[in-house]
Amino acid sequence: MSATQPQERNQIQFGVFFQGVNFSTIWTEPESGSQIDFESFRRVAQTAERGLFAAFFLGEGLRLREHLGKLHDLDVAGRPDAQTQLAALAAVTSKIGLVATQNATYNDPFDLAHRLQSLDLLSGGRAAWNVVTTDNAWTGANFRRGGYLDHADRYTHAEQVVETVRAIWDSWDDADGSARLVARDFGAFDVRGVGRLPRSPQEHPVLFQAGDSDEGRDFAARSAEVIFSAHGQFEAASAFAADIRRRTALAGRPADDLKIFPGQQFVLADTEAEAHEKALWVREKQITPATALAFLENIWGTSLADYDPDGPLPDIDPVVEVTGETRGAGFRAKKSKETADAWREQAAAENLSIREFVFKVGGRLEGGIIGSYQQVADLLARYADEHIVDGFNISPFLIPSGLDDIVDRLVPELQERGVYPTEYRGDTLREHLGLRPPLTRRGEPGDAARQTPSFDLV
Ligand SMILES: Cc1cc2nc3c(=O)[nH]c(=O)nc-3n(C[C@H](O)[C@H](O)[C@H](O)COP(=O)(O)O)c2cc1C
Residue 138 has pLDDT above 80, yes or no: no
Phi, psi of 191 (to 5 degrees): -125, 125
Tell me: the pLDDT tens digits for 212-261? 999 999 999 999 999 999 999 999 999 999 999 999 999 999 999 999 99
- Residue 414 neighbours by CB under 8 Å, 6+ apart: 12, 377, 380, 381, 420
Mutate to test the pocket of ligand 1, among 64, 149, 212, 261 (most ligand atoms within 8 A of CB): 212
Higher pLDDT, 81 or 65: 81
pLDDT band at 178 (very low <50, low <70, confident <90, very high): confident
Place domain 13-270+366-451 in its CATH homologous superfamily.
Luciferase-like domain (3.20.20.30)
Strand pairing of 226-229 and 190-194? Answer: unpaired
Residue 351, by phi and psi: left (phi above 0), alpha (psi -120 to 50) or beta?
left
User: What spacing in Å lies between the alpha carbon of 365 and ligand 1's midpoint?
Assistant: 19
* 318 sits in which H/E element: none
Task: Give the per-residue pLDDT at 137.
Answer: 67
Residue 176 has pLDDT above 80, yes or no: no
User: What spacing in Å lies between the alpha carbon of 130 and ligand 1's midpoint?
Assistant: 10
* Mean pLDDT score across all residues of the chain: 89
Residue 65 has pLDDT above 50, yes or no: yes
Which residue has a Cα nearest atom 11 of ligand 1?
134
Torsion of CA 295, 297, 298, 302, to 10 degrees: -170
What residues flank ligand 1, with Cβ below 6 Å? 59-61, 101, 103, 132-135, 210-213, 215-216, 228-230, 263
* 117 sits in which H/E element: helix 109-122
Which residue has a Cα nearest atom 23 of ligand 1?
211
Which residue has a Cα nearest atom 3 of ligand 1?
210
User: What spacing in Å lies between the alpha carbon of 134 and ligand 1's midpoint?
Assistant: 6
What are the structural domain ranges in the chain?
Answer: 13-270+366-451, 288-362
User: What spacing in Å lies between the alpha carbon of 135 and ligand 1's midpoint?
Assistant: 7
Strand pairing of 190-194 and 181-185? Answer: antiparallel
Task: Give the per-residue pLDDT at 446.
Answer: 43
User: What spacing in Å lies between the alpha carbon of 132 and ligand 1's midpoint?
Assistant: 6
Mutate to test the pocket of ligand 1, among 133, 213, 261, 327 (most ligand atoms within 8 A of CB): 133
What's the residue count for the chain?
458
Which residue has a Cα nearest atom 2 of ligand 1?
210
Task: Give the per-residue pLDDT at 21.
Answer: 79
Q: Could you give the angle at the alpha carbon of 277 between the alpha carbons of 33 and 369, nearest 5°?
A: 75
